[in-house]
Chain A
């Protein structure tokens, strides 16, 4: 090896393992974090707090889709299955057996991960669009089952019993939305931290590799099917957490809404808009689309129910025209490339 090459290797080894974001990005991040923590004290109306709780829950849901689709490249159209499982697990355990929703949360994650194995093992070994089609159909099948299942209230669903004592044990706060806000923020923080770690781990790299080139990934020793199922399990567990918090927040289970294909598709739209495969893209997408949906409902009322979907469509079109990987990928690429660094 020539001398200059040895020098360059030395320089390369001295570089940080992970590129540091530019100062302005760190500053922006710190400001956003401060704003998120202070939010309920700045915006004290019930509506503005409700809006932010929804944004946070959707940010978590979109990130769950991002893990299976953005990282491992498998387009799931059945995320609502796990949203519903999370909602039902916590509510059924609470309503029928008095079990705290915290346990329900864990049970929901476990059941969702198991459901992901059951769905993923037969479908994820197929290449092409089979996985997307299968998840979409299984999703509507699961919805029908829950709509007919008398034990869990069939089509009319279930109510979460009102409990005024020990609010943190029962996850019910009847006087303020602020605790719900911080619960949602905490869930998002943990979820995003997990994905941040995942993206820098062996598993994360392997998922990205098999997403880009499955054959090359296999030639490097990566068990393709097993890794896809693993990504789907993590995604399902995350989605389930959002389902649990959502159900304990709205206090009612409606299979029509919880298992709807609309939920599966909206988390896709958010992620694609914000930046599929990036860490913050799903949050950005949620922060754009949730207010769009809520405000269009306010402005146009019941007649404008689908206006938000039209707006979504236009936004996605714009993303596709400008850049196929979403808004944030532009930024992330610049940081990762370190082109501007000395």
Chain B
């Protein structure tokens, strides 16, 4: 069986800076793949390249065996790829329900159907209580869940989550972990950028570690954690230890 997402040789340069260099990884259907790396490692750039928000300078992205490299973001989305943004982007002049309706409208033009689908999605992320509030009135944690609900309302096969636990209190993190696991149970494939090592070690089936735009490890969580290159990237190389 070919992987759902197959990335090979993906490269992005900004002038002299290489944001992504020759990135190779794959994601199987139903799997949770984590992406880790220090700030500036190129994690969000990788998401932008996969979802069409930026054009790669080289490499290929295959979705279910079809080449989607460089397609427009909305076309990639319509192929069943959803994403959230690290810098949250709620539709601030719409209510919470209306925000999610926009996602649900990907598959229907009937407003009642879309609304009910949106409400289910909001129930899933436990944000129903806020349904009639304006998106701008939500806290950061609530906005993250809103963005997730919006993406899930379009019933994606694959969802790319950019730091869903960042800036969220400890209690909500527990809820978010349960949420991701439930998604997996429902057969949604997940790729998630995550800073919280505890979270990612628990959730991910496989982890891709990036450093300075390059892949330094890809495999099972324990294996990646004990990889010397990963330890170096996180702790710094101890060369002049006395």
A12 touches which of B74, B119, B134 (Cβ 8 Å): B119
Which residues of A sit under 8 angstroms from B131, Cβ to Cβ?
12
Decide if B91 touches A209 in the complex (CB within 8 Å): yes
| B219 close to A (CB within 8 Å) | no
Decide if B91 touches A8 in the complex (CB within 8 Å): no
Decide if A5 touches B105 in the complex (CB within 8 Å): no
In the complex, the chain A residue whose C-beta lies closest to that of B107 is A221
Report Cα–Cα, A293/B59, bound state, in Å: 62
Q: Report the count of interface residues on A (CB-CB < 8 A).
A: 35
* Stretch from B11-19, B35-43, B110-118, B196-204 contacting the other chain: B110-118
B89 touches which of A216, A336, A339 (Cβ 8 Å): A216
Report Cα–Cα, A340/B101, bound state, in Å: 23
Report Cα–Cα, A6/B16, bound state, in Å: 54
In the complex, the chain A residue whose C-beta lies closest to that of B95 is A336
| CB contacts between A and B, total, < 8 Å | 111
B109 touches which of A5, A6, A202, A336 (Cβ 8 Å): A202
Which residues of B sit under 8 angstroms from A222, Cβ to Cβ?
74, 102
Decide if B98 touches A205 in the complex (CB within 8 Å): yes
Interface 1/0 per residue, B83-105 and A, CB below 8 Å: 10100011111110010011101
A:254-310 near B, CB below 8 Å: 277
* Stretch from B23-31, B121-129, B187-195, B227-235 contacting the other chain: B121-129
Chain B interface, >50% SS class = helix
| A338 close to B (CB within 8 Å) | yes
| A163 close to B (CB within 8 Å) | no
Decide if A277 touches B120 in the complex (CB within 8 Å): no
In the assembled complex, how far is the CB of residue B68 from the closest CB belonging to chain A, in whole angstroms? 14
**Assuming the A-B contacts A215-B73, A337-B95, A337-B134, are A9 and B150 also in contact, with contact meaning beta carbons closer than 8 angstroms in the complex?**
no
Report Cα–Cα, A1/B123, bound state, in Å: 8
Report Cα–Cα, A9/B129, bound state, in Å: 9
**Assuming the A-B contacts A8-B128, A223-B74, are A277 and B93 also in contact, with contact meaning beta carbons closer than 8 angstroms in the complex?**
yes
Decide if B109 touches A12 in the complex (CB within 8 Å): no
Which residues of A sit under 8 angstroms from B122, Cβ to Cβ?
12
B85 touches which of A5, A216, A339 (Cβ 8 Å): A216
| A219 close to B (CB within 8 Å) | yes
| B174 close to A (CB within 8 Å) | no
Decide if A219 touches B91 in the complex (CB within 8 Å): no
| A51 close to B (CB within 8 Å) | no
Q: Report the count of interface residues on B (CB-CB < 8 A).
A: 46
In the complex, the chain B residue whose C-beta lies closest to that of A11 is B128
B94 touches which of A9, A202, A208, A223 (Cβ 8 Å): A208
| A150 close to B (CB within 8 Å) | no
In the assembled complex, how far is the CB of residue A235 from the closest CB belonging to chain B, in whole angstroms? 19
Report Cα–Cα, A220/B98, bound state, in Å: 13
Which residues of A sit under 8 angstroms from B154, Cβ to Cβ?
220-221
B128 touches which of A12, A200, A218, A220 (Cβ 8 Å): A12
| A228 close to B (CB within 8 Å) | no
B72 touches which of A6, A19, A213, A223 (Cβ 8 Å): A223
Decide if B102 touches A217 in the complex (CB within 8 Å): yes
Decide if B73 touches A201 in the complex (CB within 8 Å): no
Decide if A208 touches B93 in the complex (CB within 8 Å): yes
**Assuming the A-B contacts A8-B128, A223-B72, are A337 and B119 also in contact, with contact meaning beta carbons closer than 8 angstroms in the complex?**
no
Binding site for B on A (CB under 8 A): 1, 5-6, 8-9, 12-13, 17, 19, 200-202, 205-206, 208-209, 211-213, 215-224, 277, 333, 336-339
7 A-B Cβ contacts within 8 A?
A12-B131, A201-B109, A206-B105, A212-B90, A217-B102, A220-B150, A221-B106
Binding site for A on B (CB under 8 A): 51, 53, 72-75, 77-78, 82-83, 85, 89-95, 98, 101-103, 105-106, 109, 111-112, 114-116, 119-120, 122-124, 126, 128-129, 131-134, 147, 150-151, 154
Apart from the given pairs A208-B98, A217-B91, A219-B53, 6 other A-B contacts in the complex at a CB distance below 8 Å? A5-B128, A202-B111, A208-B93, A213-B91, A217-B102, A219-B85
